[in-house]
Chain A
Amino acid sequence: APVLAESYGLGREATPDEVAAWDIDVRPDGLGLPEGSGTVSDGEEIYMERCAVCHGDFGEAVGRWPVLAGGQDTLTSARPVKTIGSYWPYLSTVWDYVHRAMPFGDAQSLSNDETYALTAYLMYLNDLVDEDFELTKENFTEIRLPNEENFYPDDRLESAVWKNRTPCMTNCKPEVKITARAAVIDVTPDDPTAAHPTGE
């Protein structure tokens, strides 16, 4: 049954235009996708103009900005490279996030067609489609990203061997050695204004 409760008579009904203006989210099953389409070549043009300055010409990223492409087969390595192609489970997330929050500093400035085109180009950068590919509302949900199956729900409660254990309180181990030291790494920012509150 619906959640029923006391009404306080507060608020008002949202108009369809208001809901349409704010409800722009997209789900993996395609719910929320607007009409539209875009090709890899259209996407390349937009990407070079609006994205490459941070994300690099090939999605490899500039500086510490996010890497968008590559990294396949690195998820078990010491330094995984988690990109759309190597890590993300759903293409809908690409469309939704680019449309709602990118470019950084000029969010919600991309049209629906531009977002389809950019999404197509990001697929191309990740070797998922050919250069003549066109992404549309109609073919969108046929597409699967490579890493979709490798996510699973939180299983901490099953795997936590330290649940309900009785913690040791005395003579717990014979000896203790220091194995790593932050002062050796020396990456903590200095604070020139630091002063001890008690002075002296």
Chain B
Amino acid sequence: MTDKTPTSRRNFLKGSIAAGGALAATPALAAGDPAITEVQPWANQLGEGVDVAPYGMPSKYEAHVRRRDVPWLTADPVSSVNFTPLHELDGVITPNGLCFERHHGGTADIDPAKYRLMINGLVEKELVFTLQDLKRFPRQNRAYFLECAANSGMEWRGAQLNGCQFTHGMIHNVIYTGVSLRTILEQAGVKTNGKWVMPEGADASAMTRSIPIEKALDDCLVAFAMNGEALRPEQGYPVRLVVPGWEGNMWVKWLRRIEVGDMPWHHREETSKYTDLMANGKARRFTWEMDAKSVITNPSPQAPITHGKGHTIITGVAWSGRGTIKEVHVTTDGGRNWHQARIDGPSWDKSMHRFYYEFDWDGSPLLLQSRAVDSTGYVQPTKNELRAVRGENSIYHNNGIQTWHINEKGEAENVEIS
């Protein structure tokens, strides 16, 4: 994208020359890159003052970096999903405004003064907290990925959507600030027969899920901040549940209530939805963990190689709901030979990892794949290995290896290979 504003100094100078060449020794006549030899407007004119954007936005040249949706996926845009532009991001932290959204009743607009969290059921004392109450408990800061159980779900039957934003973008990775769920439950006092908890959302979908008490007392957070600021409305403002490593549906947003019970509730989102139909007609339920997965984000269909042959950086992200990522392997020849990628940046438990593989591209076609190995020794499987166990109709939990075909021009396509 180039700046064609008529006030740019470069156009002004060109106009002057055309009008009579009155200016002597104009920079335009100098030899070399005009981005260097001509005085650019930003080097000549004053920029905007400090108070122009009290809450700043990205550069206008980054306006294409945005969440996208796929209208045909859902019946309407309220109970729907959009996608994080993974191909435009680097590092491991997702900017708040780009974190994918998944709502079942739209974004609830909650007045924080009217926010309440109730703990009830099999507890010694049923309790109500305000937002202010929650912020007076000891806080924790943790980075975790949140991946929708259906991420890559459209790819079970074959290569469908052309771009990692669409095939892998139901994920984000942010630093949460909040209170340990254990601390909250301890205030109420969980009874000995309290074996399950059920978080419930305050929105019109009243999202509910059943979570075993062991997980609830382990690493779950009742979070009120992401990446240092209040949760975004679309991410559960003012309070959401964080369930590290587990499928995104369980991370109940606009959290209003946590009930303690002695058995699971088998609610809609753990029976009709978020159960995984197998080829024999039976279905797995309570498939909570998100297994080790990775994807090359650049190059990818939305981010082709534009620089031609030579030194080329392949980069992507890897994550596991069961721990950290120990290794990522990258192939450029469709899995005939693999190379150790370099993981750079933090290696946090149940958080995204950033990897790089650098090589000298000779301009010939490539079949790119990445393969994650997590701290439990689990090796990311191929899609065909998954299909051999599960068939093609389980919708959720597709962590199969992704292939991009790169042609001689550097363009990328989502493909499947033998």
Contact = CB atoms under 8 A, between A and B. Distances in A.
A107 B272 contact: no
Given A11-B133, A92-B266, A181-B159, A3 B190 contact: yes
Interface stretch (B45-53, B140-148, B373-381): B373-381
A108 B105 CA distance: 12
B263 A76 contact: no
Interface string B157-179: 01111110010000000000000
B189 A65 contact: no
A178 B208 contact: no
Contacts, number: 276
Nearest to A61: B75
A8 B139 CA distance: 13
A11 B358 CA distance: 54
Contacts of A14: 118-120, 126-128
Contact of A13 (B68, B127, B191, B378): B127
A-side binding surface: helix, strand, loop or mixed?
loop
Contact of B136 (A8, A161, A191): A8
A182 B118 contact: no
A80 B329 contact: no
Contacts of B334: 176
Interface in A171-200: 171-183, 185, 187-189, 191, 193-200
A28 B245 CA distance: 28
Contacts of B119: 11, 14
A101 B418 contact: no
A19 B281 contact: no
A87 to B, nearest CB: 7
A12 B302 CA distance: 52
A111 interface: no
Contacts of A196: 1, 306
Interface size class of B (residues with CB under 8 A): 35 or more
A93 B266 contact: yes
Given A11-B129, A14-B127, A25-B208, A3 B64 contact: no
Nearest to B217: A3
A29 interface: yes
Given A19-B120, A182-B413, A176 B335 contact: yes
Given A29-B263, A164-B377, A178 B415 contact: yes
A19 B259 CA distance: 10
B189 A10 contact: no
Given A19-B120, A25-B265, A173-B335, A82 B272 contact: yes
Given A2-B191, A163-B377, A13 B162 contact: no
Contact of B189 (A4, A23, A66, A151): A4
B389 to A, nearest CB: 6
Contact of B162 (A19, A169, A175, A183): A183
Contacts of B183: 5
Contact of A25 (B182, B185, B198, B337): B198
Contact of A182 (B61, B271, B280, B301): B301
A181 B415 contact: yes
A160 B400 CA distance: 13
28 contacts: A3-B182, A3-B194, A12-B127, A13-B128, A23-B259, A25-B259, A75-B281, A87-B277, A88-B271, A152-B282, A154-B284, A154-B288, A155-B284, A162-B378, A162-B381, A162-B385, A163-B379, A167-B373, A169-B329, A172-B335, A173-B335, A174-B336, A176-B417, A178-B415, A181-B416, A182-B301, A182-B413, A199-B2
What are the 8 closest A-B residue pairs judged by CB atoms, nearest first?
A176-B334, A5-B186, A182-B414, A64-B75, A75-B281, A180-B416, A97-B268, A180-B158
